[in-house]
Structure 1
Amino acid sequence: MTYRAGWIHYTNVAPILDALVLPPGVTAVTGVPTEMNAALLGGRVDIANISAVEFIRHADRLEALPDFSVAVLGPVYSVNLFHTVPLERLRRVALTRQSAMSVALLRVLLRERGLTPTLEAAEGEAETLLAQGYDGVLRIGDSALREWYRLVGPLTPETTMTALPHVGRGVTVTDLAEEWFRLTGHPFTFAVWAYRRENPPPPELVRAMREARREGLGHLAGVAARHGQKLDLPARVVQHYLWNFRYHLEAPDRLGLSEFAALAEPGHAPLRFGPQPGAGRGTLAPSGAGP
């Protein structure tokens, strides 16, 4: 029987997916986060790198691989709120339909600041929507990365990659992952590799994913050069973007995931993870629950 994978193949997962060779009996399709979330929950795919918030919301049905994530400690550069007024003066914010995760994170960050702007679904590039009357626009993924660089670039050889600009042409770019770090001091986990509990992935697929990740992280400059050409961005910018990511769902990433789950979906079911290689199954209890 064929095992079906659903990949959200943004640049941020290129170090895992670019070199992945699917084992016999496994097929794959690609789509944006909201499409793959729905495909997994609807049974059209068996595993997907879905938004962490959908994993949390459906924790009664889903389990995740224990050592795969898309997480960052600090800025992510591809989940951005573009705005023309200070955050405290936001009135209308355009939200992308492509990512439930980023919308949930924005809602948490606004609520923690005591802010209540009107949030409206609208698609389009940030500067276009800002010109149409929105004073904030949420953009994600490769498009957000390109639009950030279009505003703040080009970077000069003297630009330090640890203090990249975030203002250009009267637009401020607020990085939501960086705002999360300022709020909590924890990494933010955007995605996990989840599957329905009754249908875990074949071991051959998980081994292939681990091998592909080793290959991608071991040749990050090459990955960055290829994707820089696709995105029309300098390779050094894409390499900086990629080496920020945490792909192994380590203890700090789970801690940040637990804190976000408590803020975004209080009372959620325990988060469950498959066994680490050579270990038993693990459960991450909701905040406030027992050990």
Structure 2
Amino acid sequence: MTYRAGWIHFTNVAPILDSLVLPAGVTAITGVPTEMNEALLSRRVDIANISAVEFIRNADALEALPDFSVAVLGPVYSVNLFHTQPLAELHRIALTSQSAMSVALLEVLLRGRGLSPVLERAEGTAEELLATGFDGVLRIGDSALREWYGVVGPLTPETTMTSLPHTARGITVTDLAEEWFALTGHPFTFAVWAYHRDNPPPPALVQAMREARREGIGHLAGVAGRHALKLGLPERVVQHYLWNFRYHLEAPDRLGLTEFAAMAVPGHAPLRFGPRPGVLETTG
């Protein structure tokens, strides 16, 4: 029987997916986060790197690989709120339909500040939507990374990658992962590799994913160079972007995920993870 994978192949998972060779009996499709969330929940695919919030919301049925994540400690650069007024003065924020995760994170952060602007679905670039009357626009993924650079770039040779700009031309770019770190001090886990508990992935697929991740992280400059060309961004910007990611769902990432789950989905079922390689692990 064929085992079906659903990949969200943004640049941030390139170190895992670019060199992945699927084993015999495994097929894969790609899509944006909301598409892959739906594909997994409807069982059109058997495993997907889905939004962490959908994993939390469906924790009664899903389990996640114990050592795979898309997480950051501090800024992420690709989950951005573009705004023309201070956060406390925002009235209308346009939301992307591509990511349930970023919307849930934005809602948590707004509640944490005691803010309640109107949130509306609308598609378009940040600058297009700001020009139509929104004073805030949520953008995610590769397009958000490009649009951040479109606002604050080009970087000068003197710009250090640890003090990147976030304001230009009357637009401020607020990085939601950085806001989460300021609020909690924890990493933020955007995605996990989840599957239905009654249909775990074949060991050959998980091993192939681990080998691909080792290859990608070990040759990060090459991965960044390829994707910089696709994105039309400087290679050093993309390499810095990829350096930030945490791909192993370590204890701090789980801690941040647990805290976010309590804030975003109170009363959720226990989060379950498969055993780590060579480790017998209880769930809970």
Q: TM-score range by the shorter chain?
A: over 0.9
Secondary structure of the corresponding residue to residue 255 of structure 1:
helix
1:129-150 deviations in whole A, cap 9, x for unaligned? 0000000000000000000001
The amino acid across from 2:116 in the alignment is T
Counterpart CA distance in 2 for 1:96 and 1:282 is 37
Residue 279 of structure 1, CA deviation: 1.3
The equivalent residue for 1:47 is 47
Residue 281 of structure 1, CA deviation: 3.5
1:210-248 deviations in whole A, cap 9, x for unaligned? 000000000000000000000000110000000000000
1:51-86 deviations in whole A, cap 9, x for unaligned? 000000000000000000000000000000000000
Task: Indicate the larger mover: 150-159 or 197-206.
Answer: 150-159
The equivalent residue for 1:289 is none
The amino acid across from 1:250 in the alignment is E
1:251-272 deviations in whole A, cap 9, x for unaligned? 0000000000000001100000
The amino acid across from 2:121 in the alignment is A
Residue 245 of structure 2 is aligned to residue 261 of structure 1: no
The equivalent residue for 1:233 is 233
Residue 92 of structure 2 is aligned to residue 92 of structure 1: yes
The equivalent residue for 1:126 is 126
The equivalent residue for 1:242 is 242
The equivalent residue for 2:194 is 194
The amino acid across from 1:113 in the alignment is R
The TM-score, its normalising length taken from structure 1, stands at 0.97
Counterpart CA distance in 2 for 1:46 and 1:157 is 46
Counterpart CA distance in 1 for 2:118 and 2:204 is 47
Counterpart CA distance in 2 for 1:283 and 1:220 is 33
Provide the alpha-carbon RMSD of the alignment: 0.5
The equivalent residue for 1:101 is 101
The amino acid across from 1:119 in the alignment is L
The amino acid across from 2:83 in the alignment is H
The amino acid across from 2:181 in the alignment is F
The equivalent residue for 2:26 is 26
Structure 2 stretches of 5 or more lacking a match?
none
Secondary structure of the corresponding residue to residue 214 of structure 1:
helix
Residue 49 of structure 2 is aligned to residue 67 of structure 1: no
Residue 108 of structure 1, CA deviation: 0.2
Counterpart CA distance in 2 for 1:77 and 1:4 is 30
The amino acid across from 1:266 in the alignment is P
Counterpart CA distance in 2 for 1:22 and 1:197 is 21
Structure 1 stretches of 5 or more lacking a match?
285-291
Secondary structure of the corresponding residue to residue 74 of structure 1:
coil
The TM-score, its normalising length taken from structure 2, stands at 0.99
The equivalent residue for 2:183 is 183
Counterpart CA distance in 2 for 1:164 and 1:190 is 22
Residue 168 of structure 1, CA deviation: 1.3
* Regions of 4+ moved over 4 Å: none
Secondary structure of the corresponding residue to residue 273 of structure 1:
coil
1:142-188 deviations in whole A, cap 9, x for unaligned? 00000000110111111110110001111000000000000000000
The amino acid across from 1:102 in the alignment is S
The amino acid across from 1:52 in the alignment is A
The equivalent residue for 1:58 is 58
Residue 32 of structure 2 is aligned to residue 35 of structure 1: no
